[in-house]
Structure 1
Amino acid sequence: MSKYLISFPSPDMKFPEEDLEAVAQAAHEVLREAKAAGVWVFGGGIDESIAPVMVDAQRVIHPGTYPQTAQIEGGYAVLELPSYEQAVFWAANFWAAKFAAACRCAQELRVFQDDPES
């Protein structure tokens, strides 16, 4: 089975601050449904209050990140499904659509390359 990433950037979430708890509860309900269905692998949001660092081959830590990934933030869910076609079907009809409703923004679906050792 392959793994699929459902994600969104934080700036696309647009709702009043007083709705934050309701948004979190709705997202956690989708998470619980995915766990119950046996497709949940991992998920969470990037802690944007902690700056990223880079670690090089000499074990030196540098502040910052690659320029093209400087804006990685938001929430991520990794699901495991039997095929890309099923992932797209379930994304459109269930998981991504429900996360989109919960988080109040569109969700992106990406496919991880198969790796027999992961």
Structure 2
Amino acid sequence: MTKYLISFRDEAVDYRDEDVADIAEASSAMTREAIAAGVFVFGGGIKGGLEDAWTVDEAGVVTDGPYPESKEHLGGFIIVDVDTLEDALKWAGKCAAACRATMQVRELLSGAEAR
């Protein structure tokens, strides 16, 4: 099994207030489906906006917000553990439909690869 990060950019989401409840329910239903299928590892939306973010550099210096030149910011994600890339792409399609946003799929390094 391989873990994949399925994520969307905050900028990709443009919900009308009246759509939020339907999108939240669809997202929750998709998550319940992933749990039932045994592929769900972890996931969630990112709380707040850029004003609620912090940046920590390699020296440990903390500043408010992301670097000003950043144009894309993570809006939410799910990690799935599946047999193939094709399986991950199918789950990304379900996520995209539920969240009404384009998803990005990236394979996560295993513990040995990350070293």
Instruction: Work out whether the TM-score is over 0.5.
Output: yes
In structure 2, distance between residues paired with 1:64 and 1:97 = 31
Equivalent residue of 1:44, what SS? strand
What is the aligned partner in structure 2 of residue 43 from structure 1? 43
Residue 108 of structure 2: aligned partner: 112
- CA separation of 1:4 and 1:75: change in aligned 2, threshold 3 A: same
Residue 90 of structure 1: which of 77, 87, 92 is its match? 87
Deviates more, 1:2-11 or 1:17-26: 2-11
- Number of aligned pairs? 113
Amino acid at match of 1:77: I
Secondary structure of 2:47 counterpart: coil
Structure 1 runs (4+) greater than 6 angstroms displaced: none
Alpha-carbon offset, residue 56 of structure 1: 4.8
What is the aligned partner in structure 2 of residue 6 from structure 1? 6
On the 8 A contact 1:7/1:107 being kept in 2, the answer is: yes
Task: Give 1:51 shift.
Answer: 2.2
The code of the aligned residue for 2:76 comes to G
| Whole-angstrom CA distance in 2 between matches of 1:10 and 1:59 | 26
Between 1:63-72 and 1:12-21, the stretch displaced more is 63-72
Q: 1:100 aligns with which of 96, 103, 114?
A: 96
Cα deviation, 1:60-97, whole Å, max 9, x if unaligned, reads: 43323345656323110011123xxx23x22343x111
The alignment status of 1:75 with 2:76, answered yes or no, reads yes
Give the CA deviation at 1:37.
1.0
List runs of 5+ in structure 2 lacking aligned partners: none
Structure 1: segments with no counterpart, 5+ residues: none
